[in-house]
Amino acid sequence: MIWMKRAFALLLMAATCASLWAERLPEWMLPLRDTVYGQSLTVDEVRPLYLEASAAAWRYTAGACRYLTLSRAEYLMGRSLFSDGRIAESRAHFREGMTLAKAAVGMAPGADAWVMRAKNLAWLGRTGTRAFAVSASVNVERFAKNALEFDGQNATAQYLAAAHWVFAPRPFANLRRGMEMMKAIPGSADMDRGELFNVAVAIGWAHIRQGRHDEARPWILKAMEVFPTNGSAAGLLEIVENPGRRIRIRPY
């Protein structure tokens, strides 16, 4: 009887986690996600949303699912700090996010756990040297491929695998390959707002890197339809509309 009760408890926990992640994010994580992507609040205004999301993760989840949601909260808070130029502070959040995601992989290996390891590492790589960024990008691609072994239609994992080629510094970038992979994602996976935004920005950026500003414009506008207040998308649009002008882009 005891083992049956334990098995039922594990099944209930798994069902709870699955329902939370059916649309990739539980409802109580959406305000933090949308605020960070929208870049409409200051870091000090974002922090209470991060603390609320972390508290909700402890309240409503358990086991690997808890580690996943906490990892995502760290990732989003890190992005907010990075966008505000507070690189050293963001680094601590990305590292903690990686630690939590690694724990989730150890408890219950799956696509979402590997994705969170990859996402936190991808942004951690942006906080260090060029050599560290290149090294990190290799592991980001590996983690993304691990996620795709569990779920071949995982949109974020597909994005991360393609981003390796789009955002890598020259001569490691392969823009054509990256764009082909990015453009294939909408037709092969369900995408939430964050994923739609990321893919549109990446394709727009790849066109800009090739000097194809006219082809970049519709993708940047598509990203701005999702998060109109995002500063980096606005900066990319300004580049497209003012070729040759030096424009500082806010990291997205």
Question: How many residues are present in the chain?
Answer: 252
Q: Are residues 112 and 164 in the same domain?
A: no
pLDDT single digits (tens) 211-247? 999 999 999 999 999 999 999 899 999 999 987 766 5
The pLDDT value recorded for residue 156 is 92
Q: What is the pLDDT of residues 97-124, one digit of tens each?
A: 999 999 999 999 999 999 999 999 999 9
Containing structural domain, residue 209? 152-252
> Measured between alpha carbons, how far apart are the two ends of the chain, in Å?
52
Mean pLDDT of 77-94: 96
Within this chain, do residues 118 and 175 fall inside the same structural domain, yes or no?
no
With bands split at pLDDT 50, 70 and 90, how would you rate the model's confidence at 186? confident
Helix (H), strand (E) at residue 132: helix 130-150
Mean pLDDT on 13-18: 44
Residue 143 lies in a domain: no
Both tokens of residue 57? 């993760």
Same domain, 82 and 199: no
Q: Is 214 in the same domain as 112? A: no
pLDDT over 90 for what percent of the chain? 69
Q: Are residues 156 and 127 in the same domain?
A: no
Which one is predicted more confidently, 21 or 119? 119
The whole-number pLDDT of residue 192 equals 86
Residue 139 maps to a domain: no
Whether 123 and 78 have beta carbons less than 8 Å apart is answered as yes
pLDDT beyond 60 at 201: yes
Distance of alpha carbon 29 from alpha carbon 34, whole angstroms: 9
In this structure, is residue 138 part of a structural domain? no
Write down the mean pLDDT value for the chain.
Answer: 86
Average pLDDT over residues 195-223: 94
Q: Is residue 144 part of a domain?
A: no
Would the pLDDT of 18 be above 50? no
Q: Is residue 250 scored above 50 in pLDDT? A: no
Question: What confidence tens digit (pLDDT) does each residue in 159-178 have?
Answer: 999 998 888 777 778 999 99
pLDDT of residue 6 exceeding 50, the answer is no
pTM, entire model: 0.85
Query: Total domain count for the chain?
Result: 2
Q: What is the pLDDT of residue 188?
A: 63
Report pLDDT for 247: 52
| 51 and 106 co-located in one domain | yes
Question: Band of the pLDDT at 72, cuts 50, 70, 90?
Answer: very high
The radius of gyration computed from the CA coordinates of the chain, to the nearest angstrom, equals 18
- Is 49 inside a domain boundary? yes
Q: What is the pLDDT of residue 248?
A: 53
* pLDDT in the model for residue 218: 97
Same domain, 184 and 231: yes
Assess whether 49 and 90 both reside in one domain: yes
Say yes or no: 53 and 122 in one domain: yes
Write down which residue in 131, 160, 180 finishes a domain. Answer: 131
Q: Are residues 4 and 94 in the same domain?
A: yes
Query: Among 74, 101, 131, where does a domain finish?
Result: 131
The number of helices, as runs of H, and strands, as runs of E, in the chain is 12, 0
Tell me what pLDDT residue 4 has: 40
Secondary structure of residue 2 in the 3-state scheme: helix
pLDDT at 245: 66
Neighbours of 4 (CB within 10 A): 8
DSSP 21: T
